[in-house]
Structure 1
Amino acid sequence: MSVLVGAVVALGMLVVVPAGLRLVGDPALDRTARLWPVFAVPGAVSLWLPRGTAAAVPALCYALGTLVLAAHAARRVGRTRSMRPAEAALLTALAAPSVAALALVAERSGHELFGFGPGILALTVPHFHFAGFAAALVAGLVCGAAEGRAGTAAGMPADRALGRFAALSVPLGTVLVLAGYFVGDLAELGGALVLTAGMWAVALLSRRTARRTGPDRTTRILLTTSAAVLVATMLLALSWALGEATGLPRPSLAWMAATHGVGNALGFALCSLAALHRLRGAASSKGRTV
């Protein structure tokens, strides 16, 4: 695993996942977020060890933590019996890190998984932390916020429809991209198109939220940055998937990691989560929920 990819994955493990869990408003997930370093620190350490048993063992520790999240998802299904778009996106976010962890354990041990070598597995790990977890979580949260504004002065039917679209298409696109690994490049391109549409819907909702009078200046900057970054990084994703499917020139994997990967990690995930935490804090200080 390259230094750059390792740094991005470590950011996802140590910062993005616990920060996202705290936004859900579920006491059980809040407790898991507090305990998350127990799993994430060994996982991050595994990224910098040579492939083999010494790296695979701490990676397995991280995998156990992701199974805890998957178990939360199963319990939520049994408890809520809801598949509303916002809930479907949240369930996807809780399940996605376990896919990343499966790839991580195989990559750190130096073994192939379903015929894929360590190189592809190393890129699967950040994909399911940022597209699978962060993007699905943010899509679900912005969908829930748009639903919550229904009937208020700020509640616009277009926002609610866009939120539902984002909450459904981001998880669907993530799953289709994964399926494309096994089916073929054209299927992966279709998944990239669906995922890009969903991410751009999230970007548009973020931009609309930034233009309202409620958020402070810092929050508006964070939301605007995340929206702008998503437009650029998903164009890169489309160009790569199109090149894979058609043979047209495309960016290299190293270039994609340095642009698409870093942009989504820093510009989208961190900025979006920071903005949502600020919005949640501002709402709490006014005695209401987001």
Structure 2
Amino acid sequence: MTVLVNVIVMVGMLLVVPAGLRLTGLAELDRIRRLWPLFAAPGAVALWLPRGPTAAALALCYALGAVLLALHAPRRALRGRDRSPAGIALLTALVTPAVAALALVAERRGHELFGFGLEILALTVPHFHFAGFAAALVAGLVCRVDDGPAGRFAALSVPLGTLLVLVGYFIGDWTELAGAAVLTAGMWTVGLLTWRLGQAAGRDRTTRLLLFTSAAVLVATMLLALSWAVGEATGLPHPTLTWMAATHGLGNALGFALCSLLAWHRIRTLHPSESRTA
């Protein structure tokens, strides 16, 4: 499982975050986006080293970039920006890589942070890259296009579900289940709006296929996430963590995140007004 999780995390670090930052359209993030490889490359190397001081030091390089990114969220909030549902989703996207980076540093050092085992910390890293950063960013993008009740629900429920899952780590499995339910509802709404976006008149075939793939994958991957959370809370049979990494994790990384971001980059090129987030 370790090799697969590491590959998924590298996709998040090296591809998903910088691609997502470009989609925000925020000039204030241009510098950190250009510098991102300097943070992400050491973090990616840290994944493959034995746990210890060297791996933790390299992971700290990634954490520095993630914290610098996260600091933009309170700055924008204090300036009175991003109070809309789409804006809240964007702020969530800016913060969540820092949560992943904190887990990465602790896991690479071999430290059971807040009492969480190393396996859970290792899985927290991809979770907050994809169910955090990518999901919140895409929820914000679809809300900008469809600012009706469904779009606003997606943009608010994805951050709320992500927060509840994080809080559930500390409170208990039932809170985590509530978070998984809210996040699933939000992501399925994102999938529905993404499917509708793919049906828009004038959409080219490649972009349409990417959007349809992203939407379809979400149906399966979030159902897996919900079944796992139900099993953890109730003791009912549920997929193992290894199985979740190979299905839910890989599907969200490649089928949802990468396909979504590629589609949105194409939309930004062909229809710039559809990808505004600020």
In structure 2, how many angstroms separate the alpha carbons of the residues matched to 1:121 and 1:258?
A: 17
SS at match of 1:80: coil
Cα distance, 1:257–1:289 mapped onto 2, change above 3 Å? closer
**Residues 55-104 of structure 1, C-alpha deviations (whole Å, 9 max, x = no match):** 00010000000011111112211233442100100000000010000000
Give the structure, 1 or 2, with the largest relative contact order (CA under 8 Å, sep 6 or more): 2
* Residue type at the aligned position of 1:258: A
Q: Does 1:85 align with 2:73?
A: no
In structure 1, how many angstroms separate the alpha carbons of the residues matched to 2:91 and 2:108?
A: 27
Q: Does 1:46 align with 2:34?
A: no
Superposed displacement of residue 54, structure 1 = 1.0
Bigger Cα displacement from structure 2, 125-134 vs 79-88: 79-88
- TM-score by length of structure 2 reads 0.97
Q: Does 1:122 align with 2:122?
A: yes
Bigger Cα displacement from structure 2, 77-86 vs 12-21: 77-86
**Map of 1:24 onto structure 2:** 24
In structure 1, how many angstroms separate the alpha carbons of the residues matched to 2:202 and 2:87?
A: 25
Aligned pair count reads: 275
Of the candidates 232, 242, 246, which is equivalent to residue 234 of structure 2? 246
Provide structure 1 residue ranges, at least 5 long, that are not aligned to the other structure.
148-159
**Residues 250-286 of structure 1, C-alpha deviations (whole Å, 9 max, x = no match):** 00000000000000000000000000000000024xx
**Map of 2:263 onto structure 1:** 275
**Map of 2:191 onto structure 1:** 203
**Map of 1:34 onto structure 2:** 34
**Map of 2:203 onto structure 1:** 215
Q: Does 1:134 align with 2:134?
A: yes
In structure 1, how many angstroms separate the alpha carbons of the residues matched to 2:100 and 2:45?
A: 16
CA RMSD of aligned residues (A): 1.1
Superposed displacement of residue 30, structure 1 = 2.4
Work out the percentage of aligned pairs sharing the same amino acid.
71
**Map of 1:100 onto structure 2:** 100
Provide structure 2 residue ranges, at least 5 long, that are not aligned to the other structure.
none
In structure 2, how many angstroms separate the alpha carbons of the residues matched to 1:77 and 1:205?
A: 27
Runs of 4+ off more than 3 Å: none
Of the candidates 151, 162, 165, which is equivalent to residue 177 of structure 1? 165
In structure 1, how many angstroms separate the alpha carbons of the residues matched to 2:193 and 2:79?
A: 29
**Residues 106-130 of structure 1, C-alpha deviations (whole Å, 9 max, x = no match):** 0000011000011100000000000
**Residues 213-268 of structure 1, C-alpha deviations (whole Å, 9 max, x = no match):** 13200000000000000000000001101111111110000000000000000000
Superposed displacement of residue 289, structure 1 = 5.8
- TM-score by length of structure 1 reads 0.93
SS at match of 1:214: coil
**Residues 4-26 of structure 1, C-alpha deviations (whole Å, 9 max, x = no match):** 00000011000000000000111
**Map of 2:70 onto structure 1:** 70
In structure 1, how many angstroms separate the alpha carbons of the residues matched to 2:186 and 2:81?
A: 24
Bigger Cα displacement from structure 2, 74-83 vs 131-140: 74-83
